[in-house]
Amino acid sequence: MAKSTSPLLHHSTAATATTAQMKQMLYRRSSSEKSHLYHQLLRKHYRWVLWLFLSVYLFLSSSTPSSFLPSPISRRALSQSRTSSSSSSSSSPSLKIYVYDLPPEFNRVWLSNPRCATHLFAAEVAFHEALIHSSVRAVNPLEADYFFVPVYVSCNFSTINGFPSLHHARPLLSSAVDLISRSFPFWNRSTGVDHIFVASHDYGACFHAMEDVAIADGIPEFLKNSILLQTFGMKSPHPCQEAEHVVIPPYISLGTNLWPAPEIAKRDIFVFFRGKMEVHPKNISGRFYSRKVRTEIWNRYSGNRRFYLRRHRFDGYQSEIARSVFCLCPLGWAPWSPRLVESVALGCVPVIIADGIRLPFPDAVPWPEISLTVAERDVASLESVLDRIAATNLSAIQRRLWDPSIRRALLFNPRGIVSGDASWNVLQALEAKLDRRSWRRRRRPRPRSSQSNLDWVRWA
């Protein structure tokens, strides 16, 4: 990162420094980050800065103003640099969130496996990281509107199948709640109402991939008063969303490749899907994977050359999405899937086949204008639906979809909150809840003597 000389806000220093020192550190950090960003922008756009300089010079030295007219491409670059600089000077939300500095076994320890920070449930890591580096973070818990409890529950990967084992989610969260309620006054004060957790699994805080087991287990009692950030969302009532919550996008890592802008990518695949597609769906005590939708898709279209369907994992599948016009997003065990975000990020029109799904950030992402929805029972008419769209309003959908602000809204930036990104949209949703709730406390004026307020920061 930055070759900054500013001290990093390490947890050990956070516990011992005074508020004033910490504020100064935060200030210095953010100003060094700003200058870093500024230099990055300058580096990225130096051609245009140079061009601008030359143009102004030419304009001033010659009396022919026509030499100043920018070519279309440089106009575009200029407007790009304008948007990126306006997004960094964000209209950041005014709320304050205190981030509990839990012992590392609740979070950091799991990062020894690099997959922990990049797999589809990794919003729990990304939002934590973004918050830590954000000005929204409250150094003094007395000034906080919310309290974030950073527990990474999906990083215990099974050595057999490589999937996250969720068995330990409940005990790990329970011991975190136990610890914060013993060591700080804030949990007991509100019974957890102003506390935030991430539950980015199939069925959110029900912590199970199978719907009937998830429903039977339910949301743990100790989480029911709190606010859950979850990828699971249904329009109809569901036992696994019966807690205050915000629907968030799954975490997507766009690899290290620099993808072409969606509008110039060559799209030679008409319909794309790669993923688990049981030919004989397992009837696990009456449950069918994907409610048989994926099987139906495979049976009907695997012989159709316009459908590029693959059942095996391939690390380069993002390049396939970037080559596709329509990307199928059928339900898996749960209605949501990482494909929703990957398709949007790479400019492929998502075809959502998951009845009743509630999608993330409807205020920021105009889902009905950028995606198609096909009912699970209508999979048989998929091809004619897509043909009709291709013949009528496909280019209108694509124009809307390729607006950079839409893909920004669904992606997390772990190194800090960027205006308009996924974490930023979470904050907007949390701020809206704050305004609606009666428990919003007037934020107290910053106390002068800081030492006494930090007593809780030292773990008992």
Ligand X SMILES: *[C@@H]1O[C@H](CO)[C@@H](O)[C@H](O)[C@H]1NC(C)=O
- Site size with ligand X, rule: CB under 6 A: 16
Which residue bears the tokens 């596709």? 324
Q: Which of 16, 86, 396, 399 binds ligand X (CB under 6 A)?
A: 396
Q: Which of 87, 156, 398, 450 binds ligand X (CB under 6 A)?
A: 156
Q: Of residues 309-348, which lie at the interface with ligand X (CB under 6 A)?
A: none
CA distances from 208 to 9, 327, 376 (A): 36, 27, 23
Cβ-defined contacts of 32-38 (< 8 Å, 24+):
32/2, 32/4, 32/5, 32/6, 33/2, 33/4, 33/133, 33/416, 34/88, 36/1, 36/2, 36/4, 37/88
Q: Which residues pair with 305 in a beta bridge?
A: none
Pattern 362-391, ligand X, x by CB under 6 A: -------x----------------------
Which region among 214-222, 261-269, 283-291, 350-358 touches ligand X (by CB under 6 A)? 283-291
β-pair type (349-353, 324-330): parallel
What is the closest distance, in whole angstroms, from the C-beta atom of residue 383 to ligand X in the complex? Answer: 16
Please tell me whether residue 108 binds ligand X under the rule CB under 6 A: no
Taking the least distance from each CB to ligand X, the nearer of 292 and 443 is 292
Residue closest to 139 by CA, chosen among 13, 41, 231: 13
Residue closest to 176 by CA, chosen among 101, 70, 113: 101
What is the closest distance, in whole angstroms, from the C-beta atom of residue 172 to ligand X in the complex? Answer: 6
User: Could you tell me if 169 and 208 are in contact, meaning their C-beta atoms sit under 8 angstroms apart?
Assistant: no
Pattern 61-90, ligand X, x by CB under 6 A: ------------------------------
Whole-angstrom Cα distance, residue 235 to residue 358?
5
Q: Which of 286, 303, 316, 445 binds ligand X (CB under 6 A)?
A: 286
Taking the least distance from each CB to ligand X, the nearer of 188 and 405 is 188
Q: How many of the other CB atoms lie within 10 Å of CB of 244?
A: 14
Which residue bears the tokens 């139906």? 296
Half-sphere exposure at residue 362, Cβ-oriented, CA atoms within 13 angstroms: 8
Q: Which of 55, 74, 135, 181 binds ligand X (CB under 6 A)?
A: 181
What is the closest distance, in whole angstroms, from the C-beta atom of residue 441 to ligand X in the complex? Answer: 18
Please tell me whether residue 185 binds ligand X under the rule CB under 6 A: yes
- The 8-class DSSP code of residue 364 comes to T
The phi-psi region of residue 140 (left if phi > 0; otherwise alpha if psi is between -120 and 50; otherwise beta) is beta
Tokens standing for residue 72: 């279309």
Taking the least distance from each CB to ligand X, the nearer of 35 and 393 is 393
Which region among 34-42, 163-171, 213-221, 419-427 touches ligand X (by CB under 6 A)? 163-171
Taking the least distance from each CB to ligand X, the nearer of 84 and 156 is 156
Taking the least distance from each CB to ligand X, the nearer of 277 and 426 is 277
Taking the least distance from each CB to ligand X, the nearer of 63 and 159 is 159
Which region among 59-67, 77-85, 298-306, 393-401 touches ligand X (by CB under 6 A)? 393-401
What is the closest distance, in whole angstroms, from the C-beta atom of residue 396 to ligand X in the complex? Answer: 5
User: Could you tell me if 24 and 139 are in contact, meaning their C-beta atoms sit under 8 angstroms apart?
Assistant: no
Taking the least distance from each CB to ligand X, the nearer of 6 and 165 is 165
Whole-angstrom Cα distance, residue 204 to residue 199?
5
The phi-psi region of residue 379 (left if phi > 0; otherwise alpha if psi is between -120 and 50; otherwise beta) is alpha
Please tell me whether residue 285 binds ligand X under the rule CB under 6 A: yes
Please tell me whether residue 292 binds ligand X under the rule CB under 6 A: no
What is the closest distance, in whole angstroms, from the C-beta atom of residue 184 to ligand X in the complex? Answer: 6
Which residues of the chain form contacts with ligand X (CB under 6 A)? Answer: 156, 165, 167-168, 181-182, 185, 188, 283, 285-286, 369, 392-393, 396-397
